[in-house]
Amino acid sequence: MKKTDTAVQRCKTMSALQKMLGGKWKLEILYYISFCGIHRFGALRRQLGEISESSLTKQLRELETDGFLIRRDFHEIPPRVEYTLSDLGASFMDVIRYMRAWGERNLPDQAD
């Protein structure tokens, strides 16, 4: 019997979600944009603390490409860009709420 014969079939939905939201900072970025009203690049970077500018840029671009965020460039100098949730991103916020509640119940040493 081949190893693949006994393996559980991979879930394509979970695989796609992992690819879209698997970045180290993506869930936190979505959380802060949605629940804390943080929409500007600099404010997000200050809130996340340890993230580099290039990493935040990459994560935001990927979230925009995957349809979770909308980027609005005001075409001003100095540059002003804001991020908001798309309809897809907003529809994911119930999942984020559930994950936070689960974490508060099951990871009490990690809670705020």
CATH number at residue 81: 1.10.10.10
Q: What is the pLDDT of residue 88?
A: 96
Look at residue 43 and tell me if it is in a domain.
yes
Q: What is the pTM of this model?
A: 0.85
Look at residue 16 and tell me if it is in a domain.
no
CA separation for the pair 19, 13 (Å, rounded):
10
Look at residue 1 and tell me if it is in a domain.
no
How many domains, the chain?
Answer: 1
Q: Over the stretch 39-94, which tens digit does the pLDDT of each residue have?
A: 999 999 999 999 999 999 999 999 999 999 999 999 999 889 999 999 999 999 99
CA separation for the pair 64, 68 (Å, rounded):
6
Look at residue 29 and tell me if it is in a domain.
yes
Q: What is the pLDDT of residue 32?
A: 96
Look at residue 45 and tell me if it is in a domain.
yes
Other beta carbons less than 10 A from residue 90's beta carbon: 13
Q: What is the pLDDT of residue 110?
A: 73
Look at residue 13 and tell me if it is in a domain.
no
Look at residue 54 and tell me if it is in a domain.
yes
Domain extent at residue 93: 23-106
User: Does the pLDDT value for residue 18 go beyond 80?
Assistant: yes
Look at residue 31 and tell me if it is in a domain.
yes
